[in-house]
Amino acid sequence: MYKTIPKHYPEAIRITDLETKIITDLVQKKLDLKSTIWATSFCSDEVNNLFSPFYDLFAGPGPFMLGGISGLPFSGITGMKAFLSHAPSHGAVLVLYGPHIGISEDGKIGQVNRQNQFASSTCCGSLVAALESIKKDEHMPLDNPLDYQQARVIEHLHKNRSNILESQFPLKEATDSAYEAIHTKMNRILDIIKPELDDIKLYLIGGIVINTDWTIEDLFEVRNVEYLEF
Ligand SMILES: [Zn+2]
């Protein structure tokens, strides 16, 4: 792990350590991993396929993708209902969610060097672009079916615009704002669905994905853990 990450994300752990934590937690709760399915609400960026070591842990190929760009759960109530209806009988579901932020080895926040790229590129590209929009006090039309997700991301950052723009690290603050938006939406969606749930256990882990340069293992800073039984 390079120096910049502990400075900004002191609680960040390697993805393999997150995997160990999840296995330990589920076993302690006497949950059968092969009777557990998983979903994510992460940004569409292919860099977030870093959770591939999880593919063999759970039932089904997984994960169900609840998220769109930035990680907001754009699949909504319908997506969550569909996912929960796929849970094994007497089984459990795991949901991982949160925004992501790249930190390059030379310490640039919001950038990573991807495989076979000669220079770093933005990460999360959606949040970097949304940050530029709020700097210019710009909005995007929310009813454009070809780009409504980014319009929503911009509106979420506008809600915390002054804090973000006054921060020493605006993208980091924007990422925290995105986390709060994702966390709140996940809980609102679940609150609506909860009355319909029966014979199912939910294990939710929210946090910040910290993407590193291609050759270095990515990290995750856990922000919220919740376990619910119905
Ligand atoms: Zn992204």
Mean pLDDT of 14-22: 94
The answer to whether 23 and 56 have CB atoms below 8 angstroms apart is: no
At 136 the pLDDT is 98
Distance 148 CA to ligand 1 centre (A): 15
Distance 76 CA to ligand 1 centre (A): 18
Distance 46 CA to ligand 1 centre (A): 9
Assign 118 a pLDDT band (cuts: 50, 70, 90).
confident
At 142 the pLDDT is 94
Mean pLDDT of 97-114: 94
For the chain, the domain total comes to 1
Residue range 162-188, pLDDT digits in tens: 999 999 999 999 999 999 999 999 999
At 56 the pLDDT is 87
CATH code assigned at 180 = 3.40.1050
Mean pLDDT of 105-126: 91
pLDDT at position 214 over 70 = yes
Distance 89 CA to ligand 1 centre (A): 34
Pairing of strands 92-97, 100-102: unpaired
At 60 the pLDDT is 83
At 23 the pLDDT is 94
Distance 72 CA to ligand 1 centre (A): 10
Distance 199 CA to ligand 1 centre (A): 34
pLDDT at position 92 over 60 = yes
Distance 192 CA to ligand 1 centre (A): 27
pLDDT at position 1 over 80 = no
At 117 the pLDDT is 87
pLDDT at position 62 over 60 = yes
At 163 the pLDDT is 97
Of 51 and 38, the structure prediction assigns the larger pLDDT to 38
Distance 47 CA to ligand 1 centre (A): 8
Full residue range of the structural domain in which residue 80 is found: 4-229
Of 96 and 119, the structure prediction assigns the larger pLDDT to 96
Residue range 135-164, pLDDT digits in tens: 999 999 999 999 999 999 999 999 999 999
